[in-house]
Amino acid sequence: MTLGAQIAWDDTILPFQLDKADVRGRVARVDGVLDTVLSQHRYPAPIEDLVAEAVLLTAMIGQTLKLRWRLSLQVRGKGAARLVATDYYAPTEDGGPARIRAWASFDSERLSLTEPGFGQIGEGYLAIIIDQGEGMQPYQGITPIAGQSLSECAEAYFAQSEQLPTRFSTAYGRSLMPGKPEHWRAGGVMLQHMPKASPHAQGEATGEGGLLHARDLVQGEDAENWTRANILLDTVEELELIGPSVHPTDLLLRLFNEESPRVYDPQRIEFGCSCSEDKVRQSLSIYSAKDIAHMTTEEGTVTADCQFCGAHYVLDPKTVGFEAVTDGNA
């Protein structure tokens, strides 16, 4: 495979369907986007891994929805890993790229550098927020932290909140190719049983902590199809998920050839942040002049930093706050 063909599938999500199994899915490759996200901060290794997995999951989940604006994934915990937040912005035009951004917060004094990041979230929850834009009420679904990874936690979310059998297989890490600098690569496959008119669980929930599991949502022939697709996905190798020489369509044929895989147009993704000076001013518009005075630096300015992209904003304190807005409109 030529280098050009390798690059063509980086930062791309490929939708597919397994006609014989009544299963839809996504193959995602995240390369430059993940490098950009993680280069904004100097996260320790356990937090980098959490962010990498969250970005990969967000890419696959966001692409499955008919979004007008944004899908957000948030993981909050009481442990050392306190927050991982990602946003997926839908393309603004046909054929355009989707945009992704992410950041994390952690307690450096409590964080272990030798333990996996997921185990350091502690008690908490995973939330998915769907915001279709101005004039629309955002939707939020929440599930407790469960399983052994963010992927398993996301599977529990879909079983519990959406009652959609869902499976993720992910891989991520630093890649070092001959003659190239070290960089991040991530790849994953998402499977989801096609939704029925009225999906509902049969019998008792069998997931961790009494949560629903994907197997609780399928019966009869559906269960056989779902199990078969999962057994086939279990054969995937890490290098097939993230290796630059493995074409996503070749991977699908290798895994699911007998399930009649059908692919659709790929979706490009890129790093993108929605922060702006106008949004900073809007966020400060709830404060009085007295509040703004407390925020003013010794240099006589009000500053704000974007946690996602690191953009630094410097504002005149006389121009921010609800009193400044009121005076300006008088």
DSSP annotation string for 74-133: EEEESSSEEEEEEEEEPPSSTTPPEEEEEEEEE-TTT--SSS-SGGGS-SEEEEEEEE--
Amino acid 148: pLDDT? 95
* Helical (H) or strand (E) element with 71: strand 70-77
Q: Is the pLDDT of residue 209 over 70?
A: no
Residue 259 pLDDT exceeds 70: yes
Per-residue confidence at 200, pLDDT binned at 50, 70, 90? low
Predicted confidence at residue 78, as pLDDT, reads 97
Cα-only R_g, the chain: 22
Rounded percentage of the chain residues whose pLDDT exceeds 70: 89
As given in the structure block, the two tokens for residue 232 are 């086939």
> Across residues 71-78, what is the average pLDDT?
97
Q: Where along the chain do its domains lie?
A: 3-271, 277-329
Q: Residue 183: its pLDDT value, please?
A: 86
0.75 surpassed by pTM:
yes
Residue 11, pLDDT > 80, answer yes
pLDDT at residue 6 tops 70: no
**Beta carbons within 8 Å of 158's beta carbon, 6+ residues apart:** 164, 165, 166, 192, 214
pLDDT tens for each residue of 14-25: 999 999 899 999
Confidence of residue 45 (pLDDT cuts 50, 70, 90): very high
pLDDT digits (tens, 9 = 90+) for 128-171: 999 998 888 889 999 999 999 999 999 999 999 888 999 999 99
| Phi (first) and psi of residue 273, to 5 degrees | -120, 145
Cα→Cα distances 157→77, 164, 237, Å? 16, 9, 25
**How much is the pLDDT for 1?**
34
Give me the pLDDT at residue 5, please. 45
Per-residue pLDDT averaged across 45-63, rounded? 97
Phi first, then psi, for residue 328 (nearest 5°) are -70, -25
**Alpha-carbon gap, residue 129 to 277, rounded angstroms:** 24
Q: How confident is the prediction for the chain on average, in pLDDT?
A: 88
Which has more confidence, 33 or 179?
A: 33
User: What's the pLDDT at 208?
Assistant: 67
pLDDT greater than 50 at residue 329: no
Residue 201 has a pLDDT of 52
277-329 has which CATH code? 3.90.1280
What is the CATH superfamily name and number for domain 3-271? Answer: Hsp33 domain (3.55.30.10)
Q: What's the token pair of residue 145?
A: 């932290």
Span 85-138, pLDDT tens digits: 999 999 999 889 999 999 999 999 999 999 999 999 999 999 999 999 888 888
- Give pLDDT, residue 211: 66
Give the residue-averaged pLDDT of 180-186. 86
The stretch 314-325 carries a mean pLDDT of 84
Confidence bin at 203 (pLDDT 50/70/90): low
Write the pLDDT tens digit of every residue in 220-239. 888 899 999 999 999 999 99
pLDDT for residue 46: 97
